[in-house]
Amino acid sequence: MIAAAFAAGLINAIAGGGTLFTFPVLIWLGLDPKVANATSTVALWPGLFGGLFGYRRELENSSTILLRAPSCFSFFPRYTVVTSARETVS
């Protein structure tokens, strides 16, 4: 389990996808899939912040992109959900 956690943290800091290591190990240890998913997600958060700290110099000049891109990409799914909900209710 320690080896899987170390590998997941390393992979997650570089490219993401560390859950591919931790989730199967937690299932193998007998955890319920929902509990294993939540545990894996919470366990990998410190690695996220470590990777963010490690890449801070590369992120200095990209603050406008990081703030604008999520808002642009989230507009269309929200619009679709609101529109379909109005049609369903009517």
What is the residue-wise DSSP string for 43-90? HHHHHHHHHHHHTHHHHGGGHHHHHHHHHHHHHHHHHHHHHHHHHHH-
Question: According to the model, what pLDDT value does residue 64 have?
Answer: 63
Question: According to the model, what pLDDT value does residue 16 have?
Answer: 74
Question: According to the model, what pLDDT value does residue 76 have?
Answer: 67
Question: According to the model, what pLDDT value does residue 27 have?
Answer: 92
Side chain identity at residue 25, one-letter code: V
Which uninterrupted H or E stretch holds 37? helix 33-54
The C-alpha angle 69, 74, 78, rounded to 5 degrees, equals 160
Each residue's pLDDT expressed in tens, for the chain with a length of 90 residues: 778 777 877 887 777 778 888 889 899 999 999 999 888 888 877 777 777 787 778 777 766 666 666 666 666 666 676 677 666 665
Question: According to the model, what pLDDT value does residue 39 have?
Answer: 87
Question: According to the model, what pLDDT value does residue 30 have?
Answer: 93
Question: According to the model, what pLDDT value does residue 85 have?
Answer: 65
